[in-house]
Amino acid sequence: TSLSPSQFLRRQQVLQLYRKILRAIREVPAEADRQYLKDWTREEFRRNKGATEEDTIRMMITQGNMQLQELQRTLKLAKS
């Protein structure tokens, strides 16, 4: 099945978010926490893989970005 231009762009956004989250997780100092976050992230993305409703997908991307920012803030505070 080919994707419409908007589906293609949405898919790119999702993949970009996934990669950004995994990159941020690499900064987590404790191995156990890192592994937990990695597993949790993979599971969340896998669980929502079948989502097709545009608004739902947009909402999940927004939520994911907020969680990413929260993780980045926490890591920044931990380093200071």
pTM (2 d.p.): 0.90
Q: What angle do CA 69, 72, 73 make, to 5 degrees?
A: 85
pLDDT for 17 equals 98
| pLDDT tens for each residue of 15-61 | 999 999 999 999 999 999 999 999 999 999 999 999 999 999 999 99
- Contact criterion met (CB below 8 Å) for 44 and 67: no
Question: Taking the domains of the chain in order of start, what are their residue ranges?
Answer: 5-79
Give, in order, the Cα–Cα distances in Å from 32 to each of 28, 64, 70.
9, 22, 19
For 14, the token pair is: 């999702």
Whole-angstrom Cα distance, residue 43 to residue 37? 10
For 67, the token pair is: 């969680």
